[in-house]
Amino acid sequence: LTPPAPAAPPARASSRDRMRGRRITQAAAVVGVCSAAMAFAYAQGLVPNLSELAGEVPSEKAPSTSQPRDPGPSESDRGTPSPSPSGSKGDDGKKPPPDEGRDRKPSSPPPAPAVKGAALEWLFDGKDADGPVAKDSSGNGRNGTPKGDPLPKPLAGGGLVFAGQQSVTSRGPVLDTDRSFSVSARVKLNSTDEYQTVASQDGTEISSFQLQYDAVEKRWEMRMHRTDSKTSRADEAESDDAPRAGRWTSLTGVYDAGDERIRLYVDGELEGSVHRDGDNSTEGEFAVGRAQLGDGFIRGLDGTVSEVRAFPRALTGKEAARLAEDGDG
């Protein structure tokens, strides 16, 4: 048998092939180094991203709707995204209050009273229809307490309805009836058969004054007793004409201590004036809807009352006329 021929030795690479291999190796090394350098520089923010190199401007990212919004004064303010993570800030770095910078009209002030200086003002305007008190709009805190069973009925459109057995009273006196004072109210009687009191102030035995309807004389009266006694005589300023049931009337009773005169204005017109005798200063409750005699109450009102005011001075004729005009409005 012929023995196998020995394997040929590997061919030796030519010098050209060896040169090409070295160049490829060097090029690969250079590319690797450059890639590593670019990656490092990009991570450090030393070079812009590819979109910037290409001249592209990145689109603005829309605000996320899932982020909580700061409560503000309007929907437009609340829907505006904050330009910074901490939200909108003023120059001092503090977040402005919700109302700061908001364009809004100032609230309208309450209408000025027709006559200023009331010691008590029970308008019975329907705004406190469900409340337990008659609000004193004068600002003096003399709220009234409705009394009776049932209580006087407030009307949503204004006015307090009495049925002869109800009243609204203050806590303590409102007027010094030995000095000048005035009382005004708007009243509508349901009937004219009985005596009825619109407003009064209690004494020990009898009311010091009564702004009332006189069923015998068929007249409105501003009545003042001379002494605090159940048998006291009284001085009365009367209206010219008889009242009509179902008709609103503006009444203003005035006592002018300087002239010692009682005056009665009906719908802004002076209709009665009389000299007052006596000296009767009382310290009881101011009341709407009834008068006092001894331990009982008399002459309950059967009708509707609104805009009750008491003043610690004598009103002029012009002021009485303004009160009547204000009630008509």
Domains and CATH numbers, the chain: 120-328 (2.60.120.200)
Task: Between 269 and 1, name the one with better pLDDT.
Answer: 269
Position 98 pLDDT exceeds 80? no
pLDDT of 86 > 60? The answer is no
For range 263-275, the mean pLDDT: 99
Please say whether the beta carbons of 28 and 21 come within 8 A: no
List the single range of 25-39, 74-88, 153-167 with lowest mean pLDDT. 74-88
How far apart, in whole angstroms, are the C-alpha atoms of residue 270 and residue 105?
A: 43
The least confident of 20-34, 116-130, 155-169 is 20-34
φ and ψ of 228, to 5 deg? -90, 75
Taking 60 as the threshold, does the pLDDT of residue 248 lie above it?
A: yes
Query: Helix, strand, or coil here: 20?
Result: helix
- What tokens were used for 278? 């006596």
pLDDT interval class at 61 (50, 70, 90): very low
Question: Residues 265, 163, 167, 225: is their CA dihedral positive or negative?
Answer: positive
As beta bridge partners, residue 214 has 219
pLDDT of residue 53: 40
pLDDT band at 220 (very low <50, low <70, confident <90, very high): very high
298: burial class by Cβ within 10 Å (0-12, 13-18, 19+)?
A: middle
State how far the Cα of 209 lies from the Cα of 276, in Å rounded to an integer: 11
CA–CA dist 329, 326 (Å, integer) = 5
Amino acid at 63: P
Q: Which of 217, 222, 225 minimizes the C-alpha distance to 266? A: 222
Q: To the nearest whole number, what is the mean pLDDT of the chain?
A: 79
Can you give the pLDDT at residue 253? 99
| DSSP 8-state assignment for residue 206 | B
Closest CA to 287 of 220, 218, 185, 198: 198
Provide the pLDDT for residue 38.
56
Q: How confident is the model over 194-217, as a mean pLDDT?
A: 98
Please state, for a pLDDT cut of 90, what percent of the chain lies above it: 59
Task: Give the HSE-up count for residue 39: Cα atoms under 13 Å, Cβ half-sphere.
Answer: 6
Q: How far does the chain reach from its first CA to its final CA, in angstroms?
A: 145
CA 205, distance to chain mean position in Å, is 41
Q: What percent of the chain has pLDDT over 70?
A: 64
- The one-letter amino acid code at 200 reads S
Strand, coil or helix: what is 6? Answer: coil
* pLDDT above 50 for 46: no
Rounded CA gap, 42 and 32, in Å? 15
Measure the CA–CA gap between 254 and 180, rounded to whole angstroms: 8
Between 10 and 276, whose confidence is greater? 276
Q: What's the pLDDT score for residue 273?
A: 99
pLDDT at 122 (0 to 100): 98
Model-level pTM?
0.67
